[in-house]
Amino acid sequence: MPKVGVTKATKSFTLTMSTLAWLDEYCIKKNKKMSAVINDLINELRKQTEAPKYNLYWCTSCSDNTVRSLVNDEPVCVVCESIDEGLSRARKQFNLSRQP
């Protein structure tokens, strides 16, 4: 990639002129090379897409879709810390509790 402030198309991908102009200005402001900026952008997007996705469950106590965590092998709402009885019964029914 070119030096900061010098724009050349040396790689084998295509950018629109407006994107290239923005990228050039951004690199000058941040004093970074284009390759470093593009790598940072791609790595940030990879982190977002590869981040673990949590299941949301309706909590009757706090009336909201929330995540559950396991406390003493019981699913507990992370917001109000109440035990989810329905999810707990389902875990026991399908033998999803932790085995010693």
What are the residue ranges spanned by the domains of the chain? 1-51, 57-93
Tell me what pLDDT residue 43 has: 92
Name the one residue in this structure whose structure tokens are 């707990």.
Answer: 88
Residues of the chain predicted below pLDDT 70: 1-3, 6-12, 96-100
Tell me what pLDDT residue 53 has: 76
Tell me what pLDDT residue 100 has: 47
DSSP the chain: -PPTT-----SS----HHHHHHHHHHHHHHT--HHHHHHHHHHHHHHHHHSPPPPPEEETTTTEEE-EEEETTEEEETTT--B-HHHHHHHHHTT-SPP-
Tell me what pLDDT residue 58 has: 83
